[in-house]
Structure 1
């Protein structure tokens, strides 16, 4: 049995949904399908989820964004009509959108989640109806019916362990099952969503739950590339990756996969294949628990900007028991999550996403650090970027770090931070964001050309 997930570009139009149907018809093992909301049809288009968010946010200024609402309904209407689906399909989709809007209007705490979920829900309703039109035994399966039970957490829901036993029962159902991604329910019946890109997480959870033989994640590329093709022309394709390598790359900027998505599949040791919806015959990239050729080579380079650094200095910091804990406690008190915390004898840096520390919260955090920790100096540096080089066994290969530092020198980029050793499969570098593309190109040159 295969669980198949199709991303936003794969379900962006009626033509793409017909291509999805062709892929399902081409392999009888593809029993369970997880779908995203319709994505962009071109560079000047908007994702349905972004339009739904725009509608929801418009109530903050007191008036529904009618233009965005019509765009969403027109988008679904166009697909429904081109696929020749019954009018009640569109009526059901519009009714659920209207219910999400009504929840926001009456102040429901999960109103925005309910509205955002309508993109994936609409896709699942349309695909299941289209499969039925083509005489397939197919059914729409609501996430609550499927048993996707979640814990409501800041920053995105987390799956509960009991979900997996309930999901296993899907194996008993006949035909093709179509499940909307991105959302599930608490035990109390409250709809909540994962963080953005969460349809990947749903697919992985379902694959783990039904104990699939393979989880296929269809997107718009033939395979995973070792570096962002927007920075390096015609980069090398990766045929095999381990779960750990893919998670590190996803965290540091690879957009192919949500960085949390592989965890359920990883725990159940289910192989994952990244494939291209528009070129399904291409072998794609396999993500597995172990691979034989882990000889310490760098397999990928990821990069991401939008970071800030809080730099703290205090003489004899290393002799002050509990200093690091109290520093991080301040962040926890203020609801701020951090990414990395490299330290020295008298110095400690905390690296965060810019979105985690807005200006007004920054002032509170800095004031508390000065007053409560009595530091000699505290500074905040913005416009930082992280570059990560990844490969199993890399920490046992001599010369990996020297190649990297030479590449940064060639790119005329100053290193603000190096973090090696906290992970066996990655090495991270902090730089100013303006040098990110030069540095990535030079790293590609030293490791791959």
Structure 2
């Protein structure tokens, strides 16, 4: 049995859903389908999830929400109309659920937003099951609550409870049926809707693949493969046919858009292979993501990823390495302000602390810098806001002599400096820190050198 997940662009309108149904029907192993909310139909279109965000804001403000509800429902109505099916029953059901959202009392604004945002997927899963039944398929809508998916954590960054996997393993699916499950959402023990973080539908798919003991997790997107580098930086980059879980994790962390870096952890834990494929070109083989032992003849470099969401705090103090508790005091300051760090490379007199700057406000930054300056009295302290990270990743890099020089020398020749270099303990990745304005040029130089 396969778990198959479709993103928002694959479900944006009736013609796309028609392709999706054909893909599902092409393989009887595809019995568990995870769906996102309808995405953009064209460049300047609005995703249903964004429409739901507007609905939530209007409801909070006490505004009339009739127009926004009608706009949301019309997206689903157009999909039903494409298949020439009677809309009376399904649109009436979806409309009532949508209207009810603004009448419910929520424990907090976070729970309110989670409920509104999650309904894009919830309504779409019901609609897709209805359409498939209308076309003669044995399809059934199944809620995460029916599957026993219970979450903890915060309302908009939920985490699956471990005992959910036991309930999933006991869930019965008939041999000839297809279940349609909304991605992105689950429920707390109190029955409140909560949503996963970024890449939420991918997380749902991975959880179901592990819990239902799937043979394969198929993730359909709008690209025919995962590419070795961002196609916006390099024209027609090399496609990756096979990569390891840990290569994917390293690359996703630094900006690969196919998966959020946490999304595939459940399938990694269960050793279930992932196949990334294209809804618009389903016969293309796509990219297989597998355990490292299944990667044969690994490339020296599989992929290059970059991200500009980082900032760095550079600290210089003589004999820093000999001062007991120095790093501990920095960590205590960060913990006091509720800030986690990404990396902390250091030398005998220097330390660089790298942050995801999306979690840090200007006030938090100033408070942290002031406290470090006052408490630790460094000789020099500098906040670097225009900091980017490049990850160069490949299983073939492990124990390979000269791997770094093949990357560093071309960068030096191109006049690109590297204020930070760090090799992971696995020895399959090099992390390079560069100024944000040089990051795309650096990626091009590295790609030309290794590909």
Task: State the TM-score, normalized to the length of structure 2.
Answer: 0.93
Q: Residue 109 and residue 296 in structure 1: after superposition, are their counterparts in 2 closer, same or farther (change >3 A)?
A: closer
* Contact kept? 1:385, 1:431, Cα under 8 Å: yes
Q: Which residue of 1 aligns with 2:20?
A: 20
Q: 1:415 to 1:71 in 2, by over 3 A?
A: farther
**Shift in CA distance, 329/77, structure 1 to aligned 2, threshold 3 Å:** farther
Query: Is the contact made by 1:395 and 1:421 (CA closer than 8 Å) also made in structure 2?
Result: no
Number of residue pairs aligned between Structure 1 and Structure 2: 448
> CA shift at 1:173, angstroms?
4.0
Q: Give 1:316's aligned residue.
A: 319
Instruction: Provide the secondary structure at the position in 1 that maps to 2:309.
Output: strand
- SS in structure 2 of the partner of residue 355 of structure 1: helix
Matched, 1:36 2:36: yes
Q: 1:399 to 1:62 in 2, by over 3 A?
A: farther
| Residues 111 and 156 in structure 2, CA contact (< 8 A), matched pair in contact too | no
2:370 matched residue in structure 1: 367
Partner of 1:352: 355
Matched position secondary structure for 1:255: coil
- For residues 38-59 of structure 1, give each alpha carbon's deviation from its aligned partner in whole angstroms, at most 9, with x where no partner exists: 1111221122212222333456
- The CA RMSD measured in Å over matched residues stands at 2.1
- Aligned position for 2:418: 415
Q: Which moved more, 1:32-41 or 1:378-387?
A: 378-387
Provide the secondary structure at the position in 2 that maps to 1:161.
coil
Alpha carbons 1:104, 1:112 under 8 Å: kept: no
Per mean C-alpha deviation after superposition, the further-off stretch among 169-178 and 431-440 is: 169-178
1:81 Cα deviation from its structure 2 partner: 2.5
Match of 1:303 in 2: 306
Indicate how the Cα distance of structure 1 residues 108 and 320 shifts in structure 2: closer, same or farther if over 3 A, else same: same
Partner of 1:395: 398
Please state how far the C-alpha of 1:3 moved relative to its aligned partner: 0.5
What is the distance in 1 between the residues matched to 2:242 and 2:130? 36
1:236-255 deviations in whole A, cap 9, x for unaligned? 11110111011111111111
Between 215-224 and 103-112, report the one with greater CA deviation.
Answer: 103-112
When structure 1 is superposed on structure 2, of 212-221 and 282-291 the one drifting more is 282-291
Q: Which moved more, 1:104-113 or 1:371-380?
A: 104-113
The answer to whether the Cα contact below 8 Å between 2:240 and 2:287 also exists between their aligned partners in 1 is yes
2: distance between equivalents of 1:418 and 1:155?
34
Following superposition, the deviation at residue 231 of structure 1 comes to 1.0
Unaligned ranges ≥5, structure 1: none
Range that drifts further, 70-79 or 422-431? 70-79
Answer yes or no: is the 8 Å Cα contact 2:416–2:442 preserved in 1.
yes
> For residue 253 of structure 1, what is the aligned residue in structure 2?
255
The 5 A counterparts of 1:31-430 are 31-58=31-58, 63=63, 68-83=68-83, 84-103=85-104, 107=108, 109-153=110-154, 156-173=157-174, 175-290=177-292, 291-295=294-298, 297-430=300-433
Instruction: Choose 260-269 or 343-352, whichever is displaced more.
Output: 343-352
Change (3 A) 1:393 1:20: same
Residue 287 of structure 1 deviates from its aligned partner by 0.7
Which ranges in structure 2 are unaligned for 5 or more consecutive residues? none
Relative to structure 1, is the Cα distance of residues 347 and 143 closer, same or farther in structure 2, using a 3 angstrom cutoff?
same
Q: 1:127: Cα distance to partner?
A: 0.8
Range 289-298 or range 267-276, more displaced: 289-298
Q: Deviation per CA, 1:279-317, whole angstroms, max 9, x where unpaired?
A: 111111111102343546111011111211112223322
Moved over 4 A (4+): 58-70, 103-109
8 A contact 1:394–1:426 mirrored in 2: yes
TM-score, normalised to structure 1, is 0.94
Q: Any idea what SS the aligned residue of 2:368 has?
A: helix
Instruction: Render the CA deviation track for 1:72-130: whole Å, top value 9, x for unaligned.
Output: 23222222322325323223333333333344788554010000001111210111001
Change in Cα spacing, 1:327 to 1:178, as seen in structure 2 (3 Å) is same
Change over 3 Å in CA distance of 1:53–1:320 after alignment to 2: farther
